[in-house]
Amino acid sequence: MTDLLLDHLTEEALTGRSDAAGEPSWLRDHRLAAFKRTLDQSWPDSRKDEFWRSTPFDRRFDIDRSVVTSGEVTTAVPASITASLDEDAALVRLVDGSVVDIHLPTSFAERGVVITDLATAANEHADLVRSHLGSLTSADPEGTGAGSDKTVTVNDAAWTAGVFVHVPAEVELEAPISVQVHVTEPGAHLPRVLAVLGHHARAAVYLEHTSEPDVDAFVDEVVEVIAQDASMLDVVSLQRWDDGIQHLALQKVQAHRDTTVRHLSVTTGGATVRLLPECDLVGPGAEVRPLGIYFADDGQWFDLQPYVRHIAPHAKSDVLFKGALQGHSRTVFRGNIYVHKDAVGTDTDENNRSLILTEGARADATPFLEIECADITAGHGSATGQIDALHLFYLESRGIPRDEALRLIVAGFFREVLGEIDLPGVEDAAVAEIEARVEAADLDQVQVNDATLQDLG
Amino acid sequence: MADLEIRDLKVEADGTELLHGVDLELDKGKTLALMGPNGSGKSTLAYAIAGHPAYDITGGSVHWKGTELNELTPDERAKLGVFLAMQYPVEVPGVSLTNFLRTAVNSVNEEDIPVREFMTRLREEMSELGVDQSFLQRSINEGFSGGEKKRFEILQAALLRPELAVLDETDSGLDVDALKTVAEGVNRLSGPDLGVLIITHYTRILRYIQPDEVHVMFEGRIVASGGPELADELEEHGYENLRTTA
Ligand SMILES: Nc1ncnc2c1ncn2[C@@H]1O[C@H](COP(=O)(O)OP(=O)(O)O)[C@@H](O)[C@H]1O
Ligand SMILES: [Mg+2]
């Protein structure tokens, strides 16, 4: 079979792969239509594209790679954070270009929950997959899609390992569904996830990203979730990559009437991570809480761009992202809020806080509000600071050594975000990630803000 | 040598000398009151003892149990039994009170007290000091009222069992009932192994905690010293007379 090159996809190669995977013809056509669109698109130009201005695409992402289309469990895949839970969680493991195994708890299956690979689902659940796959990306010109970013269209055309999740109406899952994406091979990886929650359903979907050490790979991921009326959805995306990974992710939720959506991203790994947790509020009464914590170390570049579109009236969004930085690292927070002219009664707020631990790190924050409706409540704020010398002294004066005091203060900085989430295993995993970072930090280099020392009086 | 021996101490902050040569002695088992008007340098002395980073010792010395404190970090001083109840306790967002206290106790005692045992002790001390159990869930001093912060300082002292407790205006901002509870808390800690340096602007706390000596500070110097009767004098005449004699 012909190799797939990320920058030189061909109709022949895509058709061959689709047929070999036994995909129905509508899915092949769907891929080819996306492929045709890629021909008219160019890769992002950070000098021209507003959404890419913050991160130089050509310097941080390497597109000259072949697509990794297969994968197997050759080495131990790191344990999922669901492994230590009392609850029996669902687990899908993607290694490189393949879904290598799926664990569907009996209690899930009994209630009609479907978790399967996307090619199989395209045959067995054609109605659901056909109407939703690509409905939130550029593949559907009628959708609220993110426009015509080639990085997304390429995934529409050539996605490799895919997962389909369906939680039927009124089924409430106590245990999470974890999708583990593990990378062992260099090259381009195009994972895809489609999840559909029926009305009044409840589910938590974890996306766990890991890689083998020293693998140089580009992961271009697209996740679409349809949350139907009055459903409750939590998405948790953990970026625990090793150093060599370039990760682009569009994780998009369509929230219908009266849904409650939370999205938490925990970003600590990867060379470059550009994460787009997006939510289209298309039904009145929908609520979304995009949350993020991140810790960037020497050489890392994180670009976090939550995007909330208030399409329906009386919906609510509240964005909170907090990050810590050390070494020569860079973080970008760009919080995008769009309010449609008919979205009266919108209530939206977004906040970003950065903690700079050592010299040389840089954190940028840009709130971006596009508001077409006057009858709304909107707020935003951002701040960048350092560890407060008084906090440090208070803890030290109680006998806590400086390094331990710093650890407590940094963990405390993130508590505000983690306190919003009470999902099994998530807080422990996030705290462990953060603590590992602080532990590895060169604490002698930590800069303390002593401005507060002067105004004691 | 006294357990706490302060000799000709000079302290600077932000390039300004605030203490101009202070002498003070305190032995374990004794209680000493340091009084004086606002801005006289009482907190500066307390901070210099505890190792606050904004206050530099530029002359003289502070010895505690024979060790020069100026060479030690604040946590090392705490491990030697030094405790400062601060006039303005700091809010530290996100750091849970339980986690903070357990880390402090473990680190001062250089041992790992089992969580269960620690929680039992903590709950006991909290009820003694009238601190509601719901505080266990909260962050350090965050959203505490003035009085709650002061009680929390004494709670920390009760858990850390210091040998030198410097109480910097622990009485201010407390109503009479709270003042009594806090004073009882301090008295429970008192004994032959604890020296107390009680810093106050007013005399009312001295009705509940009997000092052995009273010293008065004014403009960065000790200007008067005496027994408990000195406090009564100040109660009657205020600090005005001192200004003229100083
Ligand atoms: N960090 C500081 N920098 C500069 N001046 C200070 C600082 N802290 C206190 N001072 C000044 O030192 C003097 C003594 O203050 P302080 O010790 O707080 O007095 P007290 O506790 O007796 O009210 C005051 O004039 C105060 O303004
Ligand atoms: Mg004072």
B88 lines ligand 1 (CB under 6 A): no
Looking at residue A147, its pLDDT comes to 59
- Cα A376 to its chain centre, rounded Å, is 28
A443 part of contact set with chain B, CB < 8 Å: no
Instruction: Give every residue of chain A whose pLDDT is below 70, as ranges.
Output: 1-2, 74-75, 138-148, 452-457
The answer to whether residue A385 neighbours chain B at the CB level (below 8 Å) is no
The pLDDT score that the predictor gives to residue A145 is 46
Q: Residue B168 CA: which ligand 1 atom is closest?
A: 21
Interface check for A364 against chain B (CB to CB < 8 A): the answer is no
Decide whether any atom of ligand 1 lies within 6 Å of the A455 Cβ: no
Nearest Cα to Cα of residue B178 among B156, B146, B202, B201: B146
Using an 8 Å Cβ cutoff, are B194 and B209 in contact?
Answer: no
Distance (Å, rounded) from C-alpha A396 to C-alpha B78?
8
Dihedral sign, CA of A446, A451, A454, A457?
A: negative
Reading phi first (left if > 0) and then psi (alpha if -120 to 50, else beta), residue B180 is in alpha
Q: Is the pTM of this model over 0.90?
A: yes
Determine if ligand 1 sits within 6 Å of the CB of residue A106.
no
> Quick one: pLDDT at residue A143?
42
Give the Cα separation of B43 and B234 in Å (integer).
19
Per the CB < 8 A criterion, the answer to whether A230 and A200 are in contact is yes
> HSE-up of B135 (CA within 13 Å, CB side)?
25
Q: Is any atom of ligand 1 closer than 6 Å to the C-beta of B162?
A: no
DSSP strands (E only) in A176-228:
177-183, 187-189, 192-197, 202-211, 217-227
Instruction: Write out the E strands in chain B.
Output: 4-13, 16-26, 31-35, 55-64, 67-68, 82-85, 92-96, 139-140, 164-168, 195-200, 213-218, 221-226
Closest partner residue to B107 (CB to CB) among A393, A401, A456 is A401
Contact A159, A269 (CB under 8 A): no
Token output for B92: 């530290």
Q: B-chain residues within 8 Å CB-CB of A420? A: none
What pLDDT does residue A319 have? 98
In this prediction, residue A22 carries a pLDDT of: 95
- Say how far apart CA A425 and CA A427 lie, in whole Å: 6
Which candidate from B75, B77, B89 shows the least CB-CB separation from A400? B75
Residue whose structure tokens are 């039904």? A283
Residue A317 is which amino acid? S
Report which secondary-structure segment, H or E, holds A278: strand A272-281
Answer whether A63's CB lies under 8 Å from A43's CB. yes
pLDDT tens digit sequence for A75-95: 678 999 999 999 999 999 999
Determine, for residues B104 and A395 on separate chains, whether the beta-carbon distance falls below 8 Å: yes
Give the DSSP letter string of A79-105: PPTTTT-SS--EEEEEETTEEEEEE--
Q: Which residues of chain B, if any, have pLDDT below 70?
A: 242-246
Angle, helices A402-418 vs B97-109, to 10°: value is: 160
Residue B100's alpha-carbon distances to A231, A391, A396, B122, B159, in angstroms, are 39, 12, 11, 12, 12
In 3D space, the residue among A126, A100, A120, A118 whose CA is nearest the CA of residue A155 turns out to be A118
Say whether the ipTM exceeds 0.90: yes
- What is the rounded distance in angstroms from the CA atom of residue A418 to the CA atom of residue A421? 5
Q: Is B44 in the pocket of ligand 1 (CB under 6 A)?
A: yes
How far is the C-alpha of A69 from the C-alpha of A1, rounded, in Å?
A: 11
Which helix H or strand E contains B71, and what residues bound it? none
How many Cβ pairs closer than 8 A exist between chain A and B? 95
pLDDT one-digit tens code per residue, A394-435: 999 999 999 999 999 999 999 999 999 999 999 999 999 988
Two tokens, residue A320: 């909170």
C-beta of residue A376 within 8 angstroms of C-beta of residue A339: yes
Asked if the C-beta of B78 comes within 8 angstroms of chain A's C-beta atoms, the answer is: yes
Residues A276, A251: contact at Cβ < 8 Å? Answer: yes
Cα–Cα distance between A236 and A429 in angstroms, integer?
A: 11
Which residues of chain A have a CB within 8 Å of the CB of B95?
A: 395, 408-409, 411-412, 415
Q: Which amino acid is at B144?
A: F
Question: What sections of A350-422 are H helices per DSSP?
Answer: 389-396, 402-418
pLDDT at residue number A61:
97
Please tell me the distance from the alpha carbon of residue A365 to that of residue A351, in angstroms, as a whole number.
9
Closest listed residue to residue A317, CA positions, set A283, A349, A276: A349
Task: Report the CATH fold assignment for B4-90+163-245.
Answer: Rossmann fold (3.40.50)
B114 three-class SS? coil
Instruction: Verify whether the Cβ–Cβ distance B14 to A415 is below 8 Å.
Output: no
Phi/psi for A64 (5° steps) reads -85, 70
Q: For A370, left (φ over 0), alpha (ψ -120 to 50), or beta?
A: beta
Instruction: Kindly state if the Cβ of B42 falls inside 6 Å of ligand 1.
Output: yes
DSSP code of A398? T
| Residues within 8 A of A (CB atoms), B 17-46 only | 43
Q: Quote the longest CA-to-CA distance of chain B.
A: 58
**Does ligand 1 have an atom closer than 6 angstroms to the CB of A454?**
yes
Protein residue with least CA distance to atom 25, ligand 1: B39
SS3 A7: coil
Which numbered atom of ligand 1 lies nearest the CA of B54?
1
CB contact under 8 A, A399 and B94: no
Residue with tokens 């994968």: A71
A contact residues 230-269, partner B, Cβ 8 Å cutoff: none
Half-sphere exposure of A13 (CA within 13 A, CB side): 17
Bridge partners, residue A255, by sequence: A227, A281
Kind plus residue range of the DSSP H or E element containing B228: none
